[in-house]
Amino acid sequence: MRIVVLVSGSGTNLQAVIDAVKAGELDVEIAAVGSDVPGCLGLKRAADAGIATFTVPPADYASRPEWNRALQAAVAGYAPDLVLLAGFMRILDAEFVAAFDGRMVNTHPALLPSFPGAHGVRDALRHGVKVTGVTVHLVDSGVDTGPILAQAAVPVLESDTEEELHERIKVEERKLLVETLRKLSS
Ligand code: GRF
């Protein structure tokens, strides 16, 4: 299974996938890693692992549809079987989603359908839930609304800050993501 991974930030989920592939625990080929954020740590992790990288920053395009099309073309250029959004923090338009329909996976740091969007950890904490977690799901044209592939629960502690809770979620997220990719690849 050939995958292209899109990242916007620190790329620890990407690193978990890279490590699992290197360890022979995951039979996928990471064809390339792309980002909307030039110089982000996720791109550096990919480059350090000898993986091809590309950057498509929205600021380089006159409109959002043009940026979407450019990113879509860059991803399609690697002919992936699957596109993985691993901490990719921008919404892709319907055309992009349709191009990879049923072949695009996202990871979200909350138990969907609760707390979708960019602040799933903060929103769960503010709501006062006692259990939150992580969801790996297929991407559809909504925001974090696609069919759920896997979930893991994480207890919320009384003392939790957003950062502390997110870090504990990410420990489970990395495991669940690798496990889900393993199932998809087989
Ligand atoms: C993950 O929790 C992801 O679900 C969220 O942002 C975080 C990215 O972490 N959208 P990283 O870049 O993989 O370290």
* Active-site residue list: 108
Per-residue pLDDT reduced to its tens digit, 11-66: 999 999 999 999 999 999 999 999 999 999 999 999 999 999 999 999 999 999 99
In order of start, what are the domains of the chain with their CATH numbers?
Answer: 2-185 (3.40.50.170)
Average pLDDT of the residues in 169-183: 98
* Amino acid identity, position 165: L
Report the pLDDT value the prediction gives residue 108, as an integer from 0 to 100: 98
Q: What is the mean pLDDT of the chain?
A: 97
Report the pLDDT value the prediction gives residue 11, as an integer from 0 to 100: 98
Report the pLDDT value the prediction gives residue 151, as an integer from 0 to 100: 98
Report the pLDDT value the prediction gives residue 39, as an integer from 0 to 100: 97
Please write down the long-range contacts of 157-165, taking CB distance under 8 Å and 24 or more positions apart: 160/125, 162/121, 162/122, 162/125, 165/121, 165/124, 165/125, 165/132
Average pLDDT of the residues in 150-174: 98
Report the pLDDT value the prediction gives residue 93, as an integer from 0 to 100: 95
Terminal-to-terminal C-alpha distance of the chain: 9
**Separation in Å, CA 76 to CA 49, 52, 88:** 21, 14, 17
Report the pLDDT value the prediction gives residue 164, as an integer from 0 to 100: 98
Please name the residue whose Cα sits nearest to atom 2 of ligand 1: 109
Q: Is 14 left (phi over 0), alpha (psi -120 to 50) or beta?
A: alpha
Report the pLDDT value the prediction gives residue 104, as an integer from 0 to 100: 98
Q: Which residues of 33-72 are buried (b: 16+ CB within 10 A; e: fewer)?
A: bbbbbeebbbbebbeebebebbbbeeeeeeeeeebbbebb
Report the pLDDT value the prediction gives residue 149, as an integer from 0 to 100: 98
Cis check: omega of the bond before 113, within 30 degrees of 0? yes
Report the pLDDT value the prediction gives residue 84, as an integer from 0 to 100: 98
Predicted model pTM: 0.97
Report the pLDDT value the prediction gives residue 60, as an integer from 0 to 100: 98
Is residue 45 lining ligand 1, measured as CB closer than 6 Å?
Answer: no
**Separation in Å, CA 61 to CA 33, 69, 75, 105, 141:** 20, 10, 17, 25, 22
Ligand 1 centroid–CA 169 distance in Å is 10
Report the pLDDT value the prediction gives residue 61, as an integer from 0 to 100: 98
Per-residue pLDDT reduced to its tens digit, 102-125: 999 999 999 999 999 999 999 999
Ligand 1 centroid–CA 43 distance in Å is 14
